[in-house]
Structure 1
Amino acid sequence: MIDQLSSSDIANEVSMMRSAFKGTVLVVEGVSDSRLYGKFIDRENVRIIIAHSKNNVMQSVNLLRDKRKDNAVLGIIDRDMDALLGRKRSPPLFPTDKRDLESTILASPAFDAVMAEYGDNDKVRNFEKRHGPIRDCLVRAASPVGLLMFISYRKGMNLSFKDLDFTFFVNPHALTTDLSKLVAHVYSVSMGQRYQRGAVVDMLVDLIKDFGDSWDVTRGHDAVTVLKLALRTSLGAYNSKGLTDGELGGALRLAYSRGAFESTQLYRATWDWCRENGLKLWS
C-alpha cells in the first residue's frame, strides 16, 4: 500500500494538517530519515512527513509550494547519483552531504563510536596494521556496488541490486571486493544483458580510477552490510556475532551526534534557508 502512495497523496496529507498546524513541514524519504532528523528538529514548530521515495519528496514539495502556495515546506533527499550525473538541487530541496544518509553517518565520528562498541580492539589493531584504516577499506569494498549502479543507469542495463548477497563477492577478512564476482552475482539476479561481463568489469575498473574510493559514490546500506559481515566474522567483539543490518544501522543513527550533524553542509544550508524565510527547523 505504501508503494502506491503518490506525491499528491503526500501533498494532501500536508494540506490537511494545515487547519491545526501552521509551522514548518519537513518531507523526508523514509522511516530511517525521520528517526534521524527527528532527533534534531524543533519539535514544537516542526512536523516530519515520510514520503516513501525520493521522487515523492521532490514532487510533493514542488506541488505544495508552486501550486498550493505553502511556503513552510522543505524536503531532504539523498544525493544518490546526482553528483555523478551533474545534477544540482535547489531549495526548498536539500541533498545529503554524501550519497545518502547512512554514508553521511559512516563518514562521521559515529562510525568510531560504533566500532568502539562492537569491534574487538586487538582484531581492529591487527587489521589496520595489515590493511590500513577500516573506514578506508570499508568504502573501498562497498563503493563498487554504487559505481556498478551508475554503469547500469548510464548504459540502460536495468540491472537488479535488490537483496544482493554480499558474501558472494566481499572478503570480510580483508574488506575487499572481487569485481568479477560482483558483476557475476548482479547478472545472476538480473534479466539477460547485451554486455559481456568482462566488458562491464572493465567499465567498473575505469570508473574506480576516475572516482576513487569515495562516500559520494558509496551507498550507505551497502557499506553497513559489509561492515556487519566484517564485525561478525573477523573484527567484532562478543556482542557483534548476531548483529543484523537493522541493528547496526540503528546503532549508527544513535551514535550520530548533534555536533556531527551541525558540521554538515545540509545543516547549514537548511538552517540558513529557514532563517531567511522566517521558519523554525532545528532545535
Structure 2
Amino acid sequence: MFEHMTPERTANAIMQDTTFNGTYLIVEGTKDFNLYSKFFNIDDTVEIKQVGGKEKVRDIIKILEERKFNKKIGIIDADFSKILEEDQLVQDIFSTDYHDSEVMMFKSPALETVLYIYVTKKKLDEFMSGREIKESLLNIAKEIGLLKLANDLHSLGLAFKPKKIDGKNLKYKDFIDEKTLQFKGKEQLINTVFNYSINRSIQMVDKELVKQKIEELSEKEYDLLQLVNGHDLSNILFLLLKKSLRSSKKSLSDYNAIEDSFIMSYEARYFMETELFQNLYKWSSSNDANLFKEDIKELYQKMNVVEV
C-alpha cells in the first residue's frame, strides 16, 4: 500500500486537505501508528500518517518545509545513527532514544508486563536460573546487531527480512537453541543469514569477508540499546516464551504478538521519561500545537519532568 504513495503525493494530499487544521505527525509504519496514537491527540488536533519508511518521512517533511507548511513533525527510528555519530535529523524530525521504538519499549518496565502476560514469574525465574533476563536477551541480539552493522557499513549484500510482507522470515531457531535460549555461535548465525540472503540479495560478498568484518566489529564496545534491533528482540522473546517456556497462550502466534503486547503495555509515564517525548513536548510548546492527550499533559506537568 505504501509503495504507490510517493513523498510528493503524500505532501500534496496534506496541503490540499482543507478540512484539518491541526498538526500532521509523519511516522514510518503501522506499528509506529499504533504506538504513538496512544499518546497523541488524534481525535482533535493531530493526524498521524504512516508512510512506509524513514526516507519517506524525511522526504515528506523536507517537501512540506520547502513549501512553508509548518504544521508537521516526523518521528523516525535512530537505527545505527547514534553509534555512527551521524546527524540524521532535519528540522521538525525527531528520533527514538534507542535503535528503534521496540528497543525503547524493551528498555522500560513494559518488558516485565509482556513477560508475565505469557508465563508466570516463577516459571521464568526457574528457567533463567539467576541470569538477568534483559541482559541475556540483549547479549543474543547483540550478535545479530553486529552482523547488521557490518552489513550496513561494508555493503555485504546480506538480507534479513523478506522482500514481500507475506514472505518467509529469517529462522532465528537456526542460530538460537530453542530449549536453552543459548546462542549457537557466530558461524551458525552467519551461515543462516548467508543462506537466507540467497535469492533475496542482488549480490553478496564472500562468506569469509563477512566473518572478517564481524570479527573487527566484535572487538569494539557499543551501547547495546543503540546496536540491537527491536525486531530481533521480539523474535528472541518469542522463542523464549513459546519454545523454551512453552507458553500455552493461544495469542502467542509469532513475534508480532510480542510487538503488539509491548505497545499495549507501554504506558504514558514510560514515554514521558524519554528524550523523544521531551523534545516533542518542547516543540509543541514552542509552536503552540496541542499534540498530546489532555490526561498526558496533566500527568506530565504533575511529574515536573520539565518546567512548564
TM-score, with structure 2 as normaliser: 0.84
2:38 maps to what in 1? 39
Aligned-residue CA RMSD (Å): 1.9
Deviates more, 1:184-193 or 1:260-269: 184-193
Q: Output the CA distance in 1 between the equivalents of 2:262 and 2:207.
A: 38
Give the distance between the partners of 1:169 and 1:241, measured in 2 at CA.
25
Counterpart check, 1:171 vs 2:173 = no
In structure 1, runs of 5+ residues without a counterpart are none
2:48 matches 1:48 = yes
Tell me the alpha carbon deviations over residues 211-244 of structure 1, each in whole angstroms, 9 at most, x when there is no partner. 3461211110111011001111223543268532
Task: Tell me if structure 1 keeps the 8 A contact 2:194–2:207.
Answer: no
2: distance between equivalents of 1:101 and 1:116? 21
The one-letter code matched in structure 2 to 1:268 is: Q
- Is the aligned partner of 1:275 residue 2:285? yes
Q: Could you say what secondary structure the match of 1:151 adopts?
A: helix
**Local SS of the residue matching 1:22:** coil
Match of 1:16 in 2: 16
Q: 1:97 to 1:236 in 2, by over 3 A?
A: farther
> Pairwise mapping of residues 1-283 of structure 1 onto structure 2 (< 5 A)?
1-17=1-17, 19-43=18-42, 44-66=44-66, 68-88=67-87, 89-130=89-130, 132-162=131-161, 163-172=169-178, 173-191=180-198, 193-197=204-208, 199-212=209-222, 214-239=224-249, 242-283=252-293
Residues in 2 aligned to 1:194 and 1:203: alpha-carbon distance in whole angstroms: 11
> CA offsets per residue over residues 33-86 of structure 1, 9 Å max, x none?
0111001012311111111111100010111012x1111101000111212322
Instruction: Tell me the percent identity.
Output: 26
Please state how far the C-alpha of 1:101 moved relative to its aligned partner. 1.0
Q: 1:117 to 1:29 in 2, by over 3 A?
A: same
Whether the 8 Å CA contact 1:74–1:93 is kept in 2: the answer is yes
The Cα shift of 1:149 comes to 1.6
Shift of 1:201: 3.1
Give the Cα separation in 1 of the matches to 2:236 and 2:149.
19
**Amino acid aligned to 1:84:** I
Question: What is the CA deviation profile of residues 90-138 of structure 1, one whole-angstrom value per residue up to 9, with x for unaligned ones?
Answer: 43110011111111111111111011211232331123325x2111111
2:30/2:50 contact within 8 Å kept: yes
CA, structure 1 residues 175+254, in 2 after alignment: closer, same or farther (shift >3 Å)? farther
Q: Quick check: which one's helix share is greater?
A: 1
Return 168-177 or 94-103, whichever deviates more. 168-177
- Asked whether the 8 Å contact 1:113–1:255 carries over to 2, the reply is yes
Alpha-carbon distance in 2 for matches of 1:219, 1:177 = 19
Contact kept in structure 2, 1:110 and 1:256, CA below 8 Å: yes
Find the aligned partners of 2:73 and 2:250 in 1 and give their Cα distance: 38
Whole-angstrom distance in 1 between the partners of 2:13 and 2:219: 46
Taking the aligned partners of 1:267 and 1:277, their CA distance within structure 2 comes to: 15
Q: Give the distance between the partners of 2:126 and 2:290, measured in 1 at CA.
A: 48
TM-score, structure 1 length as denominator? 0.92
Question: Distance between the aligned counterparts of 1:122 and 1:213, measured in 2?
Answer: 30
Could you list the per-position Cα deviations for residues 152-208 of structure 1 after superposition, in whole angstroms to 9, with x for gaps in the alignment? 1211212111121111101232342521111111111225544333x5334324424
Contact 1:143-1:215 within 8 A present in 2 as well: no
